Amino acid sequence: MENDHLVLRVVSKIMMPFILLFALYVQFHGDYGPGGGFQAGAIFATGMILYGLVFGLDRARKVLPWNALMFLIPLGLLIYIGVGVVSLLLGGRFLDYDTLNPHHPHAGQHLGILLVEAGVGITVAAVLTAVFYAFAGRGVKQ
Amino acid sequence: MSGFFYVDLILFAILTVTAITIAQLRHLYAAAMLSGLFSLVCASIFVLLDAVDVAFTEAAVGAGITTVLFLSALALTNAGERFTPRRLGLPALIVVTITGATLIYASQDLPVVGSLDSPVQTHPLKSVYLEESVQETGIPNVVTTVLASYRGYDTMGEVAVIFTAGIGVLLLLARTRKPGSEAGSS
């Protein structure tokens, strides 16, 4: 398994940076074009799953360890809720991004949506990758 | 419109043929691969409908991740469906026929795709979202504005659902370890 599939390994190695870059583009360009956290998270997870399929689960786990995923899954949700709590503390309503930058409500909206979408992306990417790890890891004799 | 009509027609034909083939297949590996094709064709249709966001998700999750998870599940279980003799279920046939006829009858009341007097176009919220959202938030993409700003609670709930579902699946699937063994050993 490790020695054949040379074309597959070379091509996926070349494709990996572009897949991850596209995920980041979809993530951070969501304010202007189509995209956002859900899509970016799914694309990022697809990249990790491709890596895991071609190079094996062990190498994928070296790139993105299981413990890191267990940290990232709640982190995304906490970022989202945290933005809401911060806007409460700044004197606005829950998830009222205008308060993040009182002099520039538009900048506040931009910042808030950017942070919230980052939270969505982190949780989605981590959950999907972790589900793949859990599925693929079950059949393997350790 | 007319050029896209034939593309739509071809894509829907592929979609229908794929669905019928999946329903008839006994070999689950082939069925999993074809369901990936089904999702990919769906993603193309979403692109034609100008719903690129949905197409991204469908292509990544439907065609990519779900297919891989199907195959992983098949590797753990069995790639063949247990043989059940085909027989004509008359009650099932009646239910399916009535449901299908009802859906076709109901579809007569749907507005034409893109028509100007559909509820989507005439609802007062449309002008709020499409015309005032840029002034209120300064963000050009209305979909993102609605998702993250106007309906931030909604999206937070969705992330919580994904979080909960992920934790649930991981609890079911993840290898149970003995208390003494190392956590990071797998």
Q: State the CB neighbour count (10 A cutoff) for residue B126.
A: 12
Tally of CB atoms within 10 A around B170: 18
- Run of H or E including A1: none
* Among chain A residues, CA nearest to B165: A127
Between A105-138 and A37-55, two packed helices, what is the crossing angle to 10 degrees? Answer: 30
Which residues of chain B register pLDDT less than 70?
1-2, 79, 175-186
Q: Report the alpha-carbon distance of residue A103 to residue A91 in Å, rounded.
A: 14
For residue range B141-164, what is the model confidence (pLDDT) as tens digits?
888 888 888 888 899 999 999 999
Tell me the pLDDT tens digit for each residue of A113-128.
889 999 999 999 999 9
Most A CBs within 10 Å: which of B162, B171, B178, as the mutation test of the A interface? B162
Considering only the C-alpha atoms of chain B, give the largest distance between any 2 of them, rounded to a whole number of Å: 68
Mind listing the domains of chain B with CATH numbers? 1-81 (1.20.120.1200), 123-179 (no CATH)
Q: Quick check: A15 contacting B, CB < 8 Å?
A: no
Q: How far is B44 from chain A (nearest CA, A)?
A: 15
- The Cβ of residue B164 has, within 10 Å, a number of other Cβ atoms equal to 12
Q: Report yes or no: B57 and B69 within 8 Å, Cβ to Cβ.
A: no
B17 φ, ψ (degrees, to nearest 5): -60, -45
| Cβ–Cβ below 8 Å for B152 and A32 | no
Specify the pLDDT at position B182. 46
Percent of chain B whose predicted confidence (pLDDT) is above 90: 35
Per-residue pLDDT at B175: 65
Q: Are B159 and A34 in contact (CB < 8 Å)?
A: no
Query: pLDDT per residue over A6-19, tens digit each?
Result: 898 999 999 999 99
Separation CA A118–CA A75 (nearest Å):
10
Burial of B136 (0-12, 13-18, 19+ CB in 10 A): middle
Are the C-beta atoms of residues A66 and B186 closer than 8 Å to each other? Answer: yes
pLDDT of residue A2: 53
Q: How many CB atoms lie within 10 A of CB B134?
A: 15
> Would you call A3 helix, strand, or coil by DSSP?
coil
What is the phi/psi pair of residue A30, to 5°?
-60, -25
**3-class SS letters over chain B:** CHHHHHHHHHHHHHHHHHHHHHHHCCEHHHHHHHHHHHHHHHHHHHHHCCCHHHHHHHHHHHHHHHHHHHHHHHHHCCCECCCCCCCCCHHHHHHHHHHHHHHHHHHCCCCCCCCCCCHHHHCHHHHHHHHHHHHHHCCCCHHHHHHHHHCHHHHHHHHHHHHHHHHHHHHHHCCCCCCCCCCCCC
pLDDT at position B186: 41
pLDDT value of position B184: 45
- State how far residue B171 is from chain A, nearest Cα, in angstroms: 9
Look-up of token digits 């239910």:
B95
* Cβ contact A117:B148 at 8 Å: yes
pLDDT band at A142 (very low <50, low <70, confident <90, very high): very low
Q: Specify whether the backbone of B81 is left (phi greater than 0), alpha (psi in -120 to 50) or beta.
A: beta
Q: Do B144 and A36 touch (CB under 8 A)?
A: yes
Q: Encoding tokens for residue B144?
A: 């993102």
What are φ and ψ of residue A4, in 5° steps? Answer: -95, -165
Crossing angle between the packed helical segments A105-138 and A6-28, to the nearest 10 degrees:
150
pLDDT per position as a tens digit, A66-115: 899 999 999 999 999 999 999 888 888 888 888 888 888 888 888 888 89
